[in-house]
Amino acid sequence: MQKHAGCCKGVATARKPESPMYVCICNALRQSQIEALVREGLRCEKQIYRRLGCRPQCGTCLPVARALIREAAPQPA
Protein backbone atom coordinates (compact mmCIF):
# COMPACT_ATOMS: atom_id res chain seq x y z
CA MET A 1 0.00 0.00 0.00
CA GLN A 2 1.41 3.33 -1.05
CA LYS A 3 0.28 6.00 1.29
CA HIS A 4 0.89 8.98 -1.04
CA ALA A 5 0.46 7.38 -4.42
CA GLY A 6 -0.52 10.16 -6.80
CA CYS A 7 -1.46 12.61 -4.11
CA CYS A 8 1.25 15.15 -5.03
CA LYS A 9 1.26 14.66 -8.78
CA GLY A 10 0.29 17.74 -10.73
CA VAL A 11 -0.06 19.90 -7.69
CA ALA A 12 1.69 23.21 -8.13
CA THR A 13 4.10 24.00 -5.40
CA ALA A 14 3.11 27.00 -3.39
CA ARG A 15 5.37 29.96 -3.96
CA LYS A 16 7.01 31.30 -0.93
CA PRO A 17 5.80 34.83 -0.31
CA GLU A 18 8.43 37.48 -0.87
CA SER A 19 10.37 37.76 2.32
CA PRO A 20 10.32 41.25 3.73
CA MET A 21 14.03 41.67 4.14
CA TYR A 22 14.63 44.82 6.10
CA VAL A 23 17.64 46.83 5.04
CA CYS A 24 17.13 49.71 7.44
CA ILE A 25 15.88 48.81 10.88
CA CYS A 26 15.68 52.43 12.06
CA ASN A 27 13.24 53.32 9.29
CA ALA A 28 11.78 49.87 8.57
CA LEU A 29 12.85 50.05 4.92
CA ARG A 30 12.66 46.86 2.95
CA GLN A 31 14.91 45.70 0.15
CA SER A 32 11.96 45.64 -2.26
CA GLN A 33 11.24 49.34 -1.60
CA ILE A 34 14.81 50.32 -2.41
CA GLU A 35 14.91 48.16 -5.52
CA ALA A 36 11.64 49.65 -6.77
CA LEU A 37 13.02 53.18 -6.49
CA VAL A 38 16.24 52.18 -8.22
CA ARG A 39 14.10 50.85 -11.08
CA GLU A 40 12.47 54.32 -11.18
CA GLY A 41 15.91 55.83 -11.69
CA LEU A 42 17.05 56.89 -8.22
CA ARG A 43 20.73 56.11 -7.64
CA CYS A 44 21.54 57.74 -4.33
CA GLU A 45 20.61 56.34 -0.94
CA LYS A 46 19.77 59.80 0.40
CA GLN A 47 17.33 60.40 -2.46
CA ILE A 48 15.77 57.02 -1.84
CA TYR A 49 15.35 57.57 1.89
CA ARG A 50 13.92 61.03 1.26
CA ARG A 51 11.43 59.63 -1.27
CA LEU A 52 10.36 57.10 1.35
CA GLY A 53 9.79 59.91 3.82
CA CYS A 54 12.73 59.31 6.10
CA ARG A 55 16.46 59.77 6.38
CA PRO A 56 19.32 57.68 7.67
CA GLN A 57 19.55 57.64 11.45
CA CYS A 58 22.37 55.40 12.71
CA GLY A 59 23.79 54.77 9.22
CA THR A 60 24.41 51.06 9.72
CA CYS A 61 22.28 50.27 6.68
CA LEU A 62 24.03 52.59 4.24
CA PRO A 63 26.67 50.14 2.94
CA VAL A 64 23.94 47.57 2.29
CA ALA A 65 21.71 50.17 0.66
CA ARG A 66 24.58 51.27 -1.60
CA ALA A 67 25.29 47.66 -2.58
CA LEU A 68 21.60 47.12 -3.38
CA ILE A 69 21.58 50.24 -5.53
CA ARG A 70 24.66 49.02 -7.43
CA GLU A 71 23.15 45.59 -7.95
CA ALA A 72 19.69 46.81 -8.94
CA ALA A 73 20.81 49.61 -11.24
CA PRO A 74 20.99 48.74 -14.92
CA GLN A 75 24.55 48.30 -16.07
CA PRO A 76 25.80 50.46 -18.93
CA ALA A 77 26.18 48.54 -22.18
Q: How far is the CB of 62 from ligand FES (least distance, A)?
A: 7
Which of 53, 74 has the CB closer to ligand FES? 53
Task: Confirm or reject binding of residue 67 to ligand FES (CB under 6 A).
Answer: no
Q: Give least dist CB 60 to ligand FES, A.
A: 4
Measure CA of the first residue to CA of the last residue in the chain; give whole Å.
59
Task: Tell me if residue 29 falls in helix, strand or coil.
Answer: strand
DSSP string, 11-25: PPPPPPPPP--EEET
Q: Is residue 46 a contact residue for ligand FES (CB under 6 A)? A: no
